[in-house]
Structures are given as C-alpha cells and as structure tokens.
Amino acid sequence: MSITLANLPRLADLPKLPKLPFGSEEPLDPTAGRGKVALVTGASSGIGGATALELAKLGFKVYAAARRVERMETLANLGVSVLRMDLTDDRSMVVGVRTLLDEAQRIDVLVNNAGYGSYGAVETVPMDEARRQFEVNVFGLARLVQLVTPTMREQGSGRIINVSSIGGKIYEPLAAWYHATKFAVEGLSDSLRLELAPFGIDVVIIEPGLIDTEWTPIARKSLVERSKGTPYEGRARRLAAMLRRVEGPRFSSSPELVGRRIALAATTANPRTRYPVGAGAGTVTRARRMLPDRALDAIVSQL
Ligand SMILES: NC(=O)c1ccc[n+]([C@@H]2O[C@H](COP(=O)([O-])OP(=O)(O)OC[C@H]3O[C@@H](n4cnc5c(N)ncnc54)[C@H](OP(=O)(O)O)[C@@H]3O)[C@@H](O)[C@H]2O)c1
C-alpha cells in the first residue's frame, strides 16, 4: 500500500529496518589505535571531547582541536595534544595540521566533528551568518580533508570520519541553513568516498540523533534571537520550547555513545558508509526512506 496524506502512519508504526550489527556497548579492541594518529575537531565540548577521549583510550596519539583550548585541559592532562583551531580561519587549520604532521609524521584518522546549528528563517538570517554556517560546517571540514589527504595518500591508508546529523536526512522549518550544511556534508562525503577509495582512504559518515551537548542551547538561542519581532516569532517560540524539552538525558543520548560509535568506525576493518547513532536516529532514517516528501512535511510541520 502506498503512503499518502490520507493514511499517514505514526513514526512509531513504520516497519523496523534490520538492526545494525553495532551495539552501542560493543567492546572495542583496546589496542586498535596503537601507533596511529588521529585529529579530532570540535574537541572542546560534547561529541568531539568524548571522541578524543575514546580514541586516546584505544592507544591513538590524539590531536584535539577547537578555539577554546582552555576547555581541553583535561584531555591535555591525559596526554592528548591540543591545537587552537578556528574553522573560519584558514591559517589556523594549515598551522594545526602542519604541527601535527611535523610531530607525528603521519595521520591515520581525521574526525571532522566541529559544527553548530544556526537557526532562524531564511528570510531573517543575515547572509553573513549563513556563509559562516557553511564556513564552519562544510568548508572548514573540506579544507581539513585537503590538508590531510596528501599524507594519507602517501601512506596508502587513512580514514576520514565526517560528523553529519539526522538533520542531513530530514528537515525542519526555521533551520534551513543548518540542514543545508548537513545535506552538503552527506553529498560531499559520498563523492569523496569514491574519490579516495583508490588510495586506500575510507570516508565514513556519522549521523547523530538527539545528543545531550551544548549544540541544542546554541541552536535554540540563535532561533529565538533571529526570530524576535518577525512574522516567524510564534513558530520559533514553539520550536525553541520543543528543543528545550528534548535537552537533557531523558530524551537525548550521551555524547559518549557517539564517541564510542566514532571510535568503532575509526578502528573496524571494514567500516560502513554511514552510522546513524543516538536518540531518534533510527526512526528518522526509517521515516526518510519510507515516507514521500508531503507525508514527511505533514509530520515535521507539527513542530
Ligand atoms: N548535539 C546534537 O544533538 C547533534 C545532533 C546531530 C549532529 N550533531 C553534530 O555533532 C557535531 C558536534 O556537536 P556537539 O553536539 O558536540 O556540539 P557542541 O557541544 O556545541 O560542540 C561543538 C564543537 O564545535 C566547535 N566549533 C564550533 N565552531 C567552531 C569553529 N568556528 N572553529 C572550530 N571549532 C568550532 C566547538 O569548539 P569551540 O567553540 O571551542 O571552537 C565545540 O568543540 C556538530 O557537527 C553537530 O552539528 C550534533
């Protein structure tokens, strides 16, 4: 039976996809990272911090990058090397990767995780902010790919792990720029996977669902501020209230869960192309595969 607006199913009623073979608590080989080097961006918070820690536990020499280096002191005390890096500043990326390569002489894993959610209606988000959103979430990510691939090619091996989102699969109103960047990360990563496969470099996409980090308050703040006094204010308030409700461990998964999934993707012999992970990720993946656009519109419009 085809799905139409008239017989719209509830999300929970959609048939289950086969379960992923990667349980959240699957034990990781504690020696898998020995002799290997990883760079993790956005490591001053949330998913990036958890990933840096997880990779260090597996024996990787980890370089953790972000703007707020003072937030990475705990990682530094555990032997992680800290790099000050701003994804809107080309020089900081060039210098950061050069420092890593001078010291470590190789790079095995790049985790492109840094990012933020710039919310607000397309009509009200200043174009400079829209460009900044792309600069951080897409162009910064791509620039780091450019900087590490020559070394990975010479090595004949490497793994690039791009953190996308379930927001790279579905869409919400008042979040177009964020979704545009994550859809871009999905497409860029798919093309890149084919470009780099002949050189022995894997490209993996991580699609987190709702994760309990600083991401949601930052997105919520941008939404409320950009919508104030505009025709979108009422809807923005409702969406902000919904985002507020899902914050916290009751509805959102921990960044550690995503960190472990990224560590698995970094170390498993044959990685999947994509790893949906965390609260809502499975449901959204199913919904996107099974529902036509208008049916999904009807569900998402309730936000
Ligand atoms: N939390 C979720 O529900 C969720 C869901 C799906 C996908 N994601 C994605 O997961 C990734 C990590 O987010 P998170 O949830 O861990 O959020 P978070 O706690 O806010 O962490 C974001 C990280 O990105 C870094 N960052 C932001 N702007 C940057 C810039 N201009 N240059 C360099 N680093 C920058 C921040 O470091 P500094 O500010 O110190 O530079 C911080 O370490 C993002 O790509 C996000 O879109 C999150």
C-alpha 28 – ligand 1 centre gap (Å) = 24
Cβ contact 9:3 at 8 Å: yes
**CA-117 nearest atom, ligand 1:** 47
Q: How far is the CA of 119 from the centre of ligand 1 (A)?
A: 14
Q: Is 178 known to be catalytic?
A: yes
Tens of pLDDT, residue by residue over 268-283, are: 999 999 999 999 999 9
Distances (CA, A) of 86 to 36, 89, 93, 110: 24, 5, 7, 16
Question: Residue 164 CA: which ligand 1 atom is closest?
Answer: 7
**Does residue 138 have its Cβ closer than 6 Å to ligand 1?**
no
Q: Angle 40-43-49 (CA atoms, 0-180°, nearest 5)?
A: 105
- Active-site hit among 63, 119, 178, 232: 178
For residue 291, what are the contacts with CB-CB under 8 A and spacing of at least 6?
Answer: 3, 14, 299
Alpha-carbon distance of 281 to 114, in angstroms, equals 19
Contact (Cβ atoms closer than 8 angstroms) between residue 135 and residue 88? yes
Domains within the chain, CATH numbers bracketed: 29-300 (3.40.50.720)
Decide: 45 in ligand 1 pocket, CB within 6 A.
yes
Strands 37-41 and 109-112 turn out to be: parallel
Contact 206, 40 (CB under 8 A): no
Q: Which of 54, 63, 67 to mutate to test the pocket of ligand 1 (most atoms within 8 A of CB)?
A: 67
- Other beta carbons within 10 angstroms of residue 99's beta carbon come to 14
Instruction: Tell which residue, 195, 189, 36, 45, has the closest CA to residue 115.
Output: 45
The CA 101 to ligand 1 mean position distance, Å, reads: 24
CA-nearest residue for atom 43, ligand 1, is 42
Residue to probe by mutation, ligand 1, list 85, 215, 218, most atoms within 8 Å of CB = 215
pLDDT for res 18: 47
Which pLDDT score, from 0 to 100, does residue 23 have? 40
* Burial letters 148-160, b for 16+ CB under 10 A, else e: bbebbeeeeebbb
pLDDT given for residue 303 in this prediction: 75
pLDDT of residue 27: 77
- Per-block average pLDDT, block size 10, for the chain (303 residues)? 57 53 64 98 98 98 98 98 98 98 98 98 98 99 99 98 98 97 98 98 98 98 98 97 95 97 97 97 93 94 82
Question: 286 burial class (0-12, 13-18, 19+ CB within 10 angstroms)?
Answer: middle
* Residue 214, ligand 1, Cβ within 6 A: yes
